[in-house]
Structure 1
Amino acid sequence: MKIERLIKMANDISDFFNADSDKEVAAEGVKMHLLRAWEPRMREAIITYAEQDGSGLSDLAKTAVSRLPH
Structure 2
Amino acid sequence: MNPERLVDMLNDIAANLGVEPDREEALAAIVAHLRRFWEPGMRRQLLAYVDGGGAGLETLALEAAQRLRQASVT
2:23 matched to 1:14?
no
Q: TM-score, normalised by structure 1?
A: 0.93
Identity %: 40
Matches within 5 A, 1:59-70: 59-68=59-68, 69=72, 70=74
Q: Which amino acid aligns with 1:61?
A: A
Distance (Å, rounded) in 2 between the aligned partners of 1:65 and 1:51: 10
**TM-fit CA distance, 1:2:** 0.3
**SS of alignment partner, residue 67 of structure 1:** helix
Matched residues, number:
70
Which residue does the alignment assign to 2:51? 51
Q: Structure 1, unaligned stretches of length 5 or more?
A: none
4+ residue runs over 4 A deviation: none
Q: Structure 2, unaligned stretches of length 5 or more?
A: none
Q: TM-score, normalised by structure 2?
A: 0.88
